[in-house]
Amino acid sequence: MIVVKAPQLLKQALTSNGRTITAVAQELGYSKAYISSIITGTRNPNEKVAIGICELLGEQFEKFFYIRNVHKKITK
């Protein structure tokens, strides 16, 4: 699972050049609601979104995201 390290830092980086969340969402090809929920930390991004954000910002993945291992319990 990909998790945003610091949602506020991500929001500042995405909106620093006068960009709006709507413009970011359009550039990435996702809805404003989905991108907003990632920025606020209520949802986790999928791989494509996380990589798209990093490419858009010209930053490394580790600056904004980390990968949390999720172990699923096997039941019989």
DSSP lists the bridge partners of residue 67 as: 2
CATH topology of domain 2-67: 434 Repressor (Amino-terminal Domain) (1.10.260)
Helix residue ranges per DSSP H, 18-76: 21-28, 32-39, 47-57, 61-64
- Tens of pLDDT, residue by residue over 1-41, are 999 999 999 999 999 889 999 999 999 999 999 999 999 98
Residue extents of the structural domains in the chain: 2-67
Confidence of residue 60 (pLDDT cuts 50, 70, 90): very high
For residue 32, what are its two tokens?
Answer: 């404003």
| CA dihedral for 27, 41, 70, 31, sign (positive or negative) | negative
Q: What is the pTM of this model?
A: 0.85
Q: What is the pLDDT of residue 76?
A: 65
